[in-house]
């Protein structure tokens, strides 16, 4: 059975996503973490150039979501309010970075 989210919901506080998977696992991930772990080439290159002690600062519109779009049956892309939209979050990756909900 391939893994896919049955539902992805933005929290009322709009700072985290709730993900319900088709195997009935529920997860939660903060938008800050989601943005930090953006898998696009630009963000990965940026991370490589940073020193290990660098603490990234995000502005409000970098950690707020405009929209979430599904890509085929394997991933979602997120359009952030600062316009950044090149990260493709494949489902197994999303599953790995999200936290288990108690
Ligand atoms: Zn990115």
Determine contact, residues 65/77, Cβ cutoff 8 Å. Answer: no
> Looking at residue 50, what is its pLDDT?
84
Domain that holds residue 95: 5-100
CA of 34 to the centre of ligand 1 (A): 10
CA of 2 to the centre of ligand 1 (A): 25
> Looking at residue 84, what is its pLDDT?
97
- How many domains in the chain? 1
Using one digit for the tens of pLDDT, what is the confidence trace for 48-100?
888 888 887 899 999 999 999 999 999 999 999 999 999 999 999 999 999 99
Q: What is the CATH number of the domain that holds 27?
A: 3.30.2020.30
Burial letters 20-40, b for 16+ CB under 10 A, else e: ebeeeeebbbebeebbebbee
CA of 21 to the centre of ligand 1 (A): 24
């Amino acid at each position: 059975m391939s893994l896919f989210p049955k539902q992805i919901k933005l929290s009322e506080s709009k700072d985290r996503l709730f993900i319900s998977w088709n195997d009935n696992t529920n997860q939660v991930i903060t938008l800050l973490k989601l943005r930090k772990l953006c898998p696009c080439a630009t963000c990965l290159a940026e991370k490589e150039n940073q020193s290990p002690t660098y603490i990234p600062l995000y502005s409000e519109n970098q950690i707020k979501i405009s929209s979430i779009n599904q890509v085929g049956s394997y991933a979602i892309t997120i359009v952030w309010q600062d316009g950044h939209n090149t990260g493709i979050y494949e489902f197994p990756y999303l599953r790995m970075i999200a936290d288990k909900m108690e």
